[in-house]
A = this chain, B = another copy of it.
Amino acid sequence: MSESVSESMKRTWKDECGVVGVWNNEHASRLSYLSLYAIQHRGQESAGIVTVDASGEHRVQKGLGLVQEVFDDVSLDRLSGRAAIGHVRYSTTGVNQMANAQPMQANLFNGPVAVAHNGNIVNANEIKKRLKEDGAIFHATSDTEVILHLIARHHSSNLVDCLQAGLEELDGAYSLTVLSHQSLIAARDPYGFRPLVLGTLKNGDGEKSWIVASETCAFDLIGAQFVREIEPGEIWWVDASGEHSIKMKKKRERASCIFEHVYFARPDSIVFGQSVYGVRKEAGRQLAEQDEKEGFLKDVDLVIPVPDSGVPSALGYSVQSGKPFELGIIRNHYIGRTFIQPHQALWRED
């Protein structure tokens, strides 16, 4: 599996995303919007929300850009209903950005199903090939469509059965939220490669609303309570009869993506059961400890972080080593959003 994981790691950089889900709240679309907004750092290419309206139909709004560019009050009103899932997608190159925007939504024999996915299916291409030979058509290049096809091809009236049967075929990383006309589902691969957390919120009627998100910082923004992680290999769902959970047959030993703690996640999130800020600081502390052992500290004058994700580690290093912490690199918070680079401006006619 090491090969797959490393493969998975390679693709990580272009497939980082964030997912959310909301159940039993009159403000489902707005809570999804705010949750996506809190995890905007996980993806800026596209954003999308799907809700189930009063008639059991799905309502979809997807677009390229930041959540505040894709949605406004009018579209959030149109996204009526008490259940929703949402997705933010990491910026990638390629012309098919819109076709790959999530959540991906389709009408199946047992009704509409929408899937929001964060991860990489290592054996996606083999499965795609098999499905195509069996007459499946693919509109996009993302792995998410594979999951929809697998659900569609298992003939049970029980969506969770269909989903589980499909997921058992997958190898790799996935943290999913799935929405039908009857239930909200959250599922996580047996490695627990990507984060996925469960929370609750008291809704307007005093009842309990359920919130699922990639990171706990989404709960903080909307005032939801963090309950627990969705377990590796767990399929959790909530429907009219309450919440339920099963474990997938396939077992793997935990292999969480270290880049979540190092880079992707927000420092104020709890990821894989630990504070991201704490983990980063401890990493810096340990590095200082090691440098001390190896006699490198004498050459250290200052500890300068690369902002913003490097700040806690540099802080930990500074505390442990006693070397002064200074901000030597200033981040322009607009950087990366300019369409010309300095050298272009100067070299353009050369």
Contacts and interface: CB of A to CB of B under 8 A. Distances in A.
Interface in A39-66: 40-41, 59-60, 66
Interface of chain A, helix or strand or loop or mixed?
mixed
Contact of A315 (B95, B106, B135, B326): B326
A133 interface: yes
Contacts of A327: 267, 277, 311-312, 315
B136 A30 contact: no
A34 B334 CA distance: 12
A339 B153 CA distance: 41
Given A37-B334, A327-B315, A346 B133 contact: no
Size bracket of the A interface: 35 or more
A68 B222 contact: no
Interface of A: 26-27, 30-31, 33-34, 37-38, 40-41, 59-60, 66-68, 72-73, 76, 78, 95-96, 99, 104-109, 129, 132-139, 148-149, 152-153, 155, 204, 217, 221-223, 266-268, 277, 308, 311-312, 315, 319, 324-327, 330, 332-334, 337-340, 342, 344-346, 348-350
A144 B233 CA distance: 38
A133 B346 CA distance: 41
Most chain B C-beta atoms within 10 Å of own C-beta, residue among A67, A139, A267, A333: A139
B340 A33 contact: yes
Copies in the complex: 4
Contact of A221 (B76, B337, B342): B342
Given A95-B78, A312-B327, A222 B346 contact: yes
A138 B106 contact: yes
Given A68-B337, A349-B204, A330 B38 contact: no
A70 to B, nearest CB: 11
A267 B40 CA distance: 26
Contacts of A149: 135, 137
Nearest to A77: B348
For the complex of A and B, list the 10 residue pairs with the smallest distance between their C-beta atoms, beginning with the closest.
Answer: A30-B345, A106-B137, A135-B153, A109-B132, A268-B330, A107-B138, A137-B152, A135-B152, A40-B334, A68-B338
